[in-house]
Amino acid sequence: MPPRHWTRRSFLASAAAAALAPAARGQVPLDFLDRESYIHNMQLLAHHFPGQNRPGKMQMMAHGDRRYLFQMIFSKVKWNFLQASGQIVDVTDPLNPEVVNSTGFLSFSIQVVRHAASGRWVMMTSEGGPRGIPVLRGVRFLDVTDPLNVTEISRYSADGGDPRRMMQEGSGTHRDYWDGGRYAYIGTCPNDEFYFPDKAQGLSDQTRSLQILDLADLENPKKVGEWWVAGQHRDESEARDRWRSKGDPFAFDNFHGPMYVPRRVEDGGRYGYGGWGTFGMLIHDLSDPTRPRQVGHWDTEEYIPGPMMPHHTVDVTRLDRGFVITSPESIASDCAETWQDTWIVDVADPTAPRAISKLPVPEAPPGAPYDSFCQKRGRFGVHNAPHVKAPGRPDPNFTAYTYFNGGLQCYDIRDPETPRISAWFVPPQAGEIADPATHERSADSVFIEWDRRLIWLGSSSGLHLLASPELGDPVLEPLAVSSWSLPGLNLGA
C-alpha cells in the first residue's frame, strides 16, 4: 500500500521553491547520501534489521518479564511506492530480538495498552487514507494478548456511519491516544464538511478536529464529545478570516494530535494537551468528556508562514515539574521550509501558559561531509519525542528528539531555562537519493524503556539500540515491569 504521507509529495515540490528557509540559502545539497554514522556521549549497543525502513511509531506490552515491541515497517516495491507491514518483536533479550509476528497489524500510528476491564492487551490503530479509496476512516481495536494470534475486537468510523462500509467520508485519523481507560482521544477529518478543496494538495483533507470516544463497551465504541477550532468547519468563513494563518496555502490548520491526557478523567484527571498546527499548543478541560472546553493556548508571538508544522506533539511527562515541551514537525526535504523551534512551556497555570526557553538547534557532527544538516539530503527538523507510555518512570532531567537526517538528539533539561544538547546519534542514511521516501526519515521514532535504560531508535536503516550515561547502565537481561510511566497505566499486567 502507498505510505500515508504520499499526498504531501506533490504539494511540497511547489512549496520548496516558495518557502526556502534562511538556513538553506546559499547551501548546495550533497549529491550523495551519507552512509556514515556519528555518535557522541552515547553507546550503540546493537543495530538490528539493517536495511529495513522502520519509521513507524513504537509501542510496548509485557507478559511477566517478556517484552514485545510493536512497529510498522516499510519495504520498497518500486519507485515512490512502499509496502507496509506491522511487526511484533520479542525484545526480552534486547541484543537478540525475535520477530514473532510480521503481519500482526497495519497502521503507522498505534496505541497498545492493557485493558483492565477485560484483562486483555489491546491495540488501537489509526486508520485512513486519501479520498476515494475504500478504507476504514477511524480507529480499529485489536486483541494482541497473544502476539501470534491478533484478532479484531471492533472498529469505529469517524463519520459516524457503519464502520464496515466500503466508502466512508473524511480522511480518517492519524495520531490518536488511548491509555486503556474509558475514553480515547482521536484527531480526525470526520466528513466532507471539514474538507477544503482550495487548500494546497496534501492539506485539503487534513482539517482535523478532536473526537472523544467512550469505550465502556469496547465492542461498540461510540462518540461522546467533539471539538474543533472555529473556522475548521467549511461553513465558518467569518471565523477563518480571523486566523493568523489566513492567506497561507501551506498552513497546517489542523489538530495533528495526539491529545495527551496524563491522568484519566474517570480517575480525577482534567486536562488534555495537544499540538494544533498553526493554532498553537492548546489545553482542554476534559472533565466533562461530552463537552471538551479549551482553557489554555500558547504560541509564538510571530506567525511564521510556510509548510512546516509549528505544533506537532506536546510532551507531558514532566508536568510534575510544571512544564511541557511543544515541538513542530519538519515537512520538506533539504530545508525547503520555514524553521520552527521546540519550546519548553510553563503550564503550572494551564489557563496562562508561558514560554521558558527553546531547545538548541543541532549542528553537524565533527567529521561529517557537510557544515549544516540543511546540506544533507532529506528532512531536517524535529519529529518525535519518546512516547508518553513506557515501562518505568521518565527521567525528569533527560529527553530526546528525532530530527530526521539530524539523527537522535538528547537534551539535558535539568535547568529548563538553559537546556543543552548532551548527546547524539546520527545513523547512516539508507535508500536511494532519487527516491526521498526511502531515506528522508533517517531518524524517525524513539521509544525509551526507562526502567531498563534502553533507547530504541527507528530509522530508514533499521532499528538501533542505544544507551546513555545520563540514564545509567543499561539492563540487558529480562526484567518484569514494576511500574509504568503514567498513573493507572497497564494495571494487572
What whole-number distance in Å separates Cα of residue 33 and Cα of residue 430? 8
Q: What is the per-residue pLDDT for 79? A: 44
DSSP state of 337: S
Q: Can you name the residues that pair with 72 across neighbouring β-strands? A: 86
- Range 206-228 average pLDDT: 95
Q: What angle do CA 406, 410, 411 make, to 5 degrees?
A: 125
Range with the poorest average pLDDT among 213-217, 289-293, 432-436, 441-445 = 432-436
- Range 224-236 average pLDDT: 95
Q: What is the per-residue pLDDT for 202? A: 65
What whole-number distance in Å separates Cα of residue 351 and Cα of residue 353? 6
Model confidence at 13: pLDDT above 70:
no
Residue 90, sorted as left (phi over 0), alpha (psi -120 to 50) or beta, turns out to be beta
Q: What angle do CA 29, 33, 37 make, to 5 degrees?
A: 115
- Range 29-52 average pLDDT: 97
Q: What is the per-residue pLDDT for 192? A: 86
Q: What is the per-residue pLDDT for 77? A: 53
pLDDT tens per residue across span 335-390: 999 899 999 999 999 999 999 999 999 999 999 999 999 999 999 999 999 999 99
What is the DSSP track for 203-258? Answer: TTT---EEEEEE-SSTTS-EEEEEE--TT-STT-HHHHTT-TTTT-TT---S--S-
What whole-number distance in Å separates Cα of residue 103 and Cα of residue 126? 16
pLDDT tier at 48, thresholds 50, 70, 90: very high
Q: What is the per-residue pLDDT for 208? A: 87
Q: What is the per-residue pLDDT for 7? A: 33
Q: What is the per-residue pLDDT for 326? A: 98
pLDDT tier at 14, thresholds 50, 70, 90: very low
The one-letter amino acid at 205: D
Mean pLDDT of the chain: 91
Q: What is the per-residue pLDDT for 205? A: 67
Model confidence at 33: pLDDT above 80:
yes
pLDDT tens per residue across span 311-339: 999 999 999 999 999 999 998 889 999 89
C-alpha cell at 261: 491526557
What whole-number distance in Å separates Cα of residue 88 and Cα of residue 110? 12
pLDDT tens per residue across span 138-170: 999 999 999 999 999 999 999 999 999 999 999
Model confidence at 63: pLDDT above 90:
yes
Q: What percent of the chain has pLDDT over 70?
A: 92
DSSP state of 311: E
pLDDT tier at 36, thresholds 50, 70, 90: very high
Reference 203, options 12, 383, 1; nearest CA is 12
DSSP state of 328: E
Q: What is the per-residue pLDDT for 201? A: 58
What whole-number distance in Å separates Cα of residue 233 and Cα of residue 293? 17
Quote the pTM value: 0.94
Q: How far is CA 439 from CA 47, 152, 188, 363, in A?
A: 17, 33, 28, 20
Chain length of the chain: 493
Q: What is the per-residue pLDDT for 22? A: 40
